Copies of this chain bind each other. A is one copy, B any other.
Amino acid sequence: MAMFELHPQLLADTLLLGKFDLSWVLLHRDANYPWCILVPAREDVREIHHLDTEDQYALIRESSHLAEVMTDLFAPKKMNLAALGNRVPQLHLHHVARFENDAAWPNPIWGAVPALDYQAADLAHRVAKLRGALVGEGFQAAV
């Protein structure tokens, strides 16, 4: 049986926070926004409606849990959720904490401004906070 593997573009753009029962939880390396991505660990799935009903329910539970954790940690004005996948075909669900003073507000973030690198200490701090807060939905932190 083939192991589930991340699409190379997601592997390049993100850092693995850990895994829920269904989905891998990634942090995008763009420091412009607190930006996490859920990837259901199912091979060859491109659309949410291709998941079976139980996986759809797990996905929305995990998504809402992640959105709540990000809201608690970052106190955004709005969460932006999106499953686009025009460039990266592996099903992935963006979760972006948005603020009225962020680089793209009130527009969607995709293509708005160039990605910004984290300072190493800021990235380590954000990863540690998220891994510590993401308790539930079977979350296992990556090590």
Give the interface of A toward B (CB within 8 A): 46-49, 51, 53, 56-57, 59-61, 63-65, 67-68, 71, 77-87, 89, 98, 105-108, 110-111
Contacts and interface: CB of A to CB of B under 8 A. Distances in A.
A60 B86 contact: no
Contacts of A110: 107-108
Nearest to A96: B84
A81 B78 contact: no
Contact of A67 (B47, B79, B87, B89): B47
Contacts of A46: 78
A133 B32 CA distance: 42
B47 A56 contact: no
A80 B80 contact: no
Nearest to A89: B78
Nearest to A108: B110
Contacts of A64: 48-49, 51, 56
B98 A107 contact: no
B106 A108 contact: no
Contact of A57 (B60, B67, B86): B60
B82 A78 contact: no
Contacts of A105: 86
